[in-house]
Every structure is written in structure tokens, then in C-alpha cells.
Amino acid sequence: MRADLIEWIGVIKPFRIMDWWLARRRRRTSRAGEAKGVLVISSGGLGDTVLFAHVAERFLALARKAEPVTMLLRADAMKMAFLLPPAAAVVGVDFKRLGRDLGYRRQVTDDIFRAHYRLVVHTDYLRHPDLDEALVAAAMAPEAVAMEPRPWRKYDSRLNANRRLYTRLYNSGAPHLDKVVRWARFAGWLSGRDSAPPMARLPAARLAAPAAAGPAVVMQPFSAVKRKQSPPALYMRIIEALPKGTAVVVTGTPGDLDANPEFKALLDLSGVRFDDSSFADLVPTLRAARLVVSVDTALMHLAVAVGAPTLCLASAAYVGEIVPYDPAIAPPNARFVYHSMPCEGCLGDCILPAEHGMFPCVARLEEERITGTVRAMLAMESTQR
């Protein structure tokens, strides 16, 4: 064997060698019957899955009569699968395991190949050539469609090479564009039925009923990115601004308080308790709440989607793409507060030093503006009851 080939094999990732071998084998494998069914891939996280739920019905329309549709999510996003249309089957794939466990990777890609889909729709603008695009490759569907991928210096050459996986690619616009608007345009291009982007509000018929009695205010102060979190002192000020006797629930995962012990002081306040229920179980509480105050995270998107009056304390990192919502999709129950920065829209890749452990745009959020917005939203909600 040539020395240069031996050296190449020594540095290439093992799963790429396996993928190459499986692709050769699959090309020589006959599958029974005609290709049937639509596979819709949405490989974003929890918040992205809530946003995708607003446009999911439009991708169901790509199926032929009586043709099944499967929606594939990241395993960690399956907690929001209950928001997707019941007409679709939903499956989860552990992307971390997909990149390191060869046996799991083979099982997942074999299952996708054997399903013999007629059409694969990759809905993500940001794609990884070795993860979600490996699933497109494994399907070997007669038709596969996607958007032109987001530029990604590390993987641009491989993303360009993977264009061969698709029969059609859609130019969805500038890199900074509201996610729901981008998906709506893509779905319209595929179906030939251009229509306005949907409002970020899910049909009440698909949701659990509001709780008969529950807290008046729900707070979600935690983020997986700690520099997006405002300090406990701000939430203390918000609670002080509430009418006397207002019941408050602080939500989060079971480990959030242990990871952020400074927030435990909030639970010492009268009428404040912690609730670590699942997203699905929180829906009745959110629908009954007079106000939800949240960092820009999945719970915030869920609260807006189910119709709760929601105030998002946002960073400026996702301006133009996620928060604040584009006016075309923003429902009246959603309000966003953020501090504008020359560097806004950085997508979390902050170039500035932290201020008090926070992104500068978060550290500079104005308390008076926030507490004033809280009072105004509660007053407005009271007049609508």
C-alpha cells in the first residue's frame, strides 16, 4: 500500500471509513418495492424545535396521499416532540453518540436506508457534514432537498462536496434571517404555495388545557450558557415589583439550582417555589400564568407558543435570527428586552470580555426598563381578563 495512503488512513476519522464502506454496500443492495414516505430532518435543539413546530404542518404537505411522514430530531430535542403535528411519526437520534459510537452509527443509518424514503427534506440552514448530512447520505432517496448551507469555515469544503447529496438546493437568503421566516420560505418553495410566515402561536386544540389554579408569574432565569443569565438580584427586583401576594414559580431542570446555588435565595421569598416539571407538564401552568419572565431559552419559546404573556430578557447574540422575533411572526403576547450592541447577531461567539460573568449585552440590561415592562404587562393582562 502506498505510504501516502497509509498516512491518510491513519488520520481520517474511523466513521468516515465506515460510511464509505457502507455506501458502497448499499449501492449494491436492492430494496423491495417503490420508495415511499417523507423524512423531514430538523436537527436543532429544544428552542429550535419549538420554533420549527410553527411551520411543521407545511412540510407535511409535501407527502403524497396516504404517504407517511417521519420527523427526525436530535435526541435531546425530543422533549419538545409533543408540539409537532400528530400526523407525523417522530424519531430521535443521539448526535453525540452518532459521532463516536460506530455500532450506533451503523444501526441508525441502516434503519434509515431500509426505510426506503421517497423524499428527504433537510430543514436546517446550519448543517454538519458528518452528522445530520450523514443521515441524508444513508437514505439514498430518489429525491433529497435542502437549503444552501450556512457558511462554516471549518467545514465549508465538506459541505460543498455534500451538495451532491441533494437533487435541489434553495437559496434561503442572507445569513441573518429569522428562523421561522426562513423555514416558511423554504416550505413555500418546495410546495409551490407561497404564503405569509405563521405567527409564533400554536393551535390551542393541540395543547393541554390551562391549569385551574396556578402561580400568577413564572420565571425561568437559567440558561445552558451561563453568560446569558441575569443575576438573582434582577429577579429579586422583579418580584418586588409584583403586586403583593403574587404567587411565583421559578422553573428549571432538576440540576439548575445545584449548578446555580446563588438563585436559591429567591426561594426564601414568600410565595416563591421551584418547579422542575418537564416541558410538556409545564404547559398547563404556562397557559394559566399572568406573566412569564425568561432568559432567551427553550422555555421562553414554549411560553410564547402556548399563548402566555411572555417577557424575554435577551442577549443581543441572536438579533436578526431568533430573538426578538421578526414582526411577521411575533404574536402580541411576546415582548423582548435586549441591549443593542454594534456586535449584535454574533450567535453567541462573543468577542468582548465578560462583565460580572455575563455577556456585556446581558450585563447592561436596564432594571428600571424591565420592572416597568413587567408592571405594564401585568396591567394589560388584568384589563383583558
137 and 214 in a single domain? The answer is no
257 and 350 in a single domain? The answer is yes
377 and 261 in a single domain? The answer is yes
* CATH number of the domain encompassing residue 172: 3.40.50.2000
Task: Name the nearest CA neighbour of 164 among 128, 140, 188.
Answer: 140
The residue out of 156, 191, 226 marking a domain boundary is 191
231 and 341 in a single domain? The answer is yes
Q: Residue 216 is part of which domain span? A: 206-384
182 and 221 in a single domain? The answer is no
Check if the beta carbon of residue 361 is closer than 8 Å to that of residue 316: yes
**pLDDT higher than 90, residue 7:** no
Query: How many other C-beta atoms lie within 10 A of the C-beta of residue 167?
Result: 13
- Residues sharing a CB contact under 8 Å with residue 208, sequence separation 6 or more, in sequence order: 280, 283, 284, 287
Q: How many residues does the chain have?
A: 385
**pLDDT higher than 90, residue 49:** yes
Check if the beta carbon of residue 74 is closer than 8 Å to that of residue 104: no
For residue 42, tell me if it sits in a domain: yes
State the pLDDT at residue 5: 40
- Residues sharing a CB contact under 8 Å with residue 323, sequence separation 6 or more, in sequence order: 296, 300, 312, 314, 336, 338
Question: Average of pLDDT values for 220-225?
Answer: 95
Write the DSSP assignment of 166-182 as a string of letters: -SEEE----SS--HHHH
Mean pLDDT, the chain, as a whole number?
94
Query: How many other C-beta atoms lie within 10 A of the C-beta of residue 54?
Result: 22
249 and 185 in a single domain? The answer is no
> Which amino acid, one-letter code, is at 141?
A
In this predicted model, what pLDDT tens digit does every residue of 234-253 receive, in sequence order?
999 999 999 999 999 999 99
In this predicted model, what pLDDT tens digit does every residue of 82-131 receive, in sequence order?
999 999 999 999 999 999 999 999 999 999 999 999 999 999 999 999 99
The residue out of 191, 224, 257 marking a domain boundary is 191
